[in-house]
Structure 1
Amino acid sequence: MSDVAERYPVAAPMPDVLPAIKSRRGAWGFVRHHPTIAIGGFLIFVLILLAVFAPYLWTVDPTALATTRRTRVPSAQNWFGTDMLGRDIYSRVVYGARVSLVVGFAVAFFASIIGLAIGLVSGFVRIADGLIMRIMDGVMSIPPILLAIALMALTRGSVGNVILAITVAEVPRVARLVRGVVLSLREQPYVDGAITAGTRTPMVILRHILPNTLAPLSVQATYICASAMITEAILSFIGAGTPPTIPSWGNIMAEGRALWQVKPFIVFFPAAFLSVTVLAVNLLGDGLRDALDPRMAKRV
């Protein structure tokens, strides 16, 4: 063995030309590279906990009247003060988070599912594209808030009807987004190859088209969630949304607008919670867009 080693010496190891790849695993690495997702997700998580555990967060009955304690300023006993009927604003704001979150998440889910189905069919089946898109264009020609008000006028005020009305107004936007993605995907060589190989249209859509629409659809769903929360607050503010017996941020602001100049805290606290919630959802959407779109990625 020694003769062989002397006769054929082993070359020295080559130096590393490329630097070692740094691992990005771990929670702190995720926060560093996706701060908007981390901040938005954390705020949404806190708001969800606030809504779920509302009865255990030093709240009282949000509908309990106390006429002797009307329009009291924030204090140690009433953290956010009381409204014109003596109800605790802190309790009403915390319970109102349930309405906004349920409406936002439900509208985002149903509008995404329905819009996804319509967009897939319209973008891939050319015969149905013209008719479906003309219907969607007709619905989109009506401002969403006006369409929601018109639909609410035909039904009674409830959380379920608010979700239905806002969903109808948001579906066309999802459908047009998915349709645009499908139109660009159906001309790809792998789709033509699948069709040439005899794959049926439903399987082509499920295997090759649908997975590539989920990333932009997820981003769009976050914006729909934020828009639905604002629309629900507007409907409740003008009296066309949830009934007054159900505390919501729009109801609280509507009841305090008459005293805005002398008792601004009645409107300020629900408005602040609504703003933070919408900001959190938009931050999450921006972060998902940057993370899921390769063109927006800063590092590979």
Structure 2
Amino acid sequence: MTLHLSSELPLEARPSHGARFLRYLRRHPSVAVGGGLLIAIVLLGALAPLWGTVDPTAISPTRRTRLPSEANWFGTDLLGRDVYSRVVYGARVSVTVGFSVAILASVMGLAVGLCAGFLRWADGVIMRVIDGMMSIPPILLAIALMALTRGSIGNVIIAVTIAEIPRVARLVRGVVLSLREQPYVEAAISNGARAPRIVMKHILPNTIAPMTVQATYICASAMLIEAILSFIGAGVPPSTPSWGNIMAEGRALWQVKPHIILFPAVLLSITVLAVNLLGDGLRDSLDPRIAKRL
């Protein structure tokens, strides 16, 4: 009698992608809470026409500085504009500036950091420039750059990006310097591998995790800087609804009409908190030294 044994063994049941994602969120609640809040803020800004009750720029002198009511959920400002609608539309400015600065600063800082860390002859020159830029606080550098041009969302993004690039560049440079001395990198160099191939294959993939975490902190910082610039009149035009502009317009009456400043300040705080929670959760999950202790 001949026995025919199947060469295919039953595969162990593997959890689905959804189950693994839920397990990841349970292990890292900061990612779940921060990501959920951030998604809610993004949807708030993206779908602003659906949530807004009236035109955020509509002026009504007969409805000036009204308290929150059924008709105006967050009250009205000095020009009779609906604060709720302005706060909802203001989420667009903060989210746009925060995400744009995080992406642009990460890409440019990555390129600068790779050059400084891998090219020994360029390290001294690049890092002296970076050190000079880092000696100036990002908010002061952004104010100085905005003083040279007119206020607009695009110029705010450019100014804040320039101020944030040194943070990413220094981080990437430190990672590259540590990786450059690893045996597998030295082996690739001794085998005659070209510098671009070494960077793309061995170094760049190892910079993604720390740079992703840094990008979340840059996003939160960019939102705060944009609000400060708008608050002092150096950011987006006053006609554009932004959280900084709303608080600037209500600061003269904050003691008697605190609702004008309260609601945009609360939304800004929640958004920055959400991004920081997301960054902390990503740091805990992407850093192998921390992940082993969890």
The bucket for the TM-score relative to the shorter chain is over 0.9
Superposed displacement of residue 299, structure 1: 5.9
- Confirm whether residue 90 of structure 1 aligns to residue 99 of structure 2: no
| Map of 2:31 onto structure 1 | 37
| Map of 1:135 onto structure 2 | 129
Which stretches in structure 1 are left out of the alignment for 5+ residues? 2-20
Q: How large is the RMSD of aligned CA atoms in angstroms?
A: 1.7
Superposed displacement of residue 58, structure 1: 4.1
Query: Which residues in structure 2 correspond to 1:11-50 (within 5 Å)?
Result: 25-50=19-44
- Confirm whether residue 75 of structure 1 aligns to residue 69 of structure 2: yes
Which has more radius of gyration? 1
1:78-126 per-residue CA deviation (whole Å, 9 max, x = no partner) reads 0000000000000000000000000000000000000000000100100
- Percent identity over paired residues: 70
Kindly tell me the number of residue pairs found equivalent between the two proteins: 282
SS in 2 for 1:96: helix
Letter of the 1:228 partner, please give it.
A
Report the TM-score, using the length of structure 1 for normalisation: 0.91
- Confirm whether residue 253 of structure 1 aligns to residue 265 of structure 2: no
| Map of 1:272 onto structure 2 | 266
Structure 1 CA distance for aligned equivalents of residues 174 and 153 of structure 2: 32
Which stretches in structure 2 are left out of the alignment for 5+ residues? 2-12
Structure 1 runs, 4 residues or longer, greater than 4 Å off: 21-24
Query: Which residues in structure 2 correspond to 1:188-227 (within 5 Å)?
Result: 188-227=182-221
Letter of the 2:290 partner, please give it.
M
Superposed displacement of residue 249, structure 1: 0.2
| Map of 2:59 onto structure 1 | 65
SS in 2 for 1:297: helix
Structure 2 CA distance for aligned equivalents of residues 29 and 188 of structure 1: 33
Structure 2 CA distance for aligned equivalents of residues 299 and 128 of structure 1: 38
- Confirm whether residue 285 of structure 1 aligns to residue 279 of structure 2: yes
- Confirm whether residue 113 of structure 1 aligns to residue 107 of structure 2: yes
- Confirm whether residue 172 of structure 1 aligns to residue 166 of structure 2: yes
Letter of the 1:75 partner, please give it.
S
Q: Cα distance 1:271–1:135, how it changes in 2: closer, same or farther (>3 A)?
A: same
Letter of the 2:265 partner, please give it.
A
1:158-186 per-residue CA deviation (whole Å, 9 max, x = no partner) reads 00000000000000111000000000000
Match of 2:175 among 172, 177, 181: 181
Q: Cα distance 1:27–1:199, how it changes in 2: closer, same or farther (>3 A)?
A: closer
Report the TM-score, using the length of structure 2 for normalisation: 0.93
- Confirm whether residue 263 of structure 1 aligns to residue 252 of structure 2: no
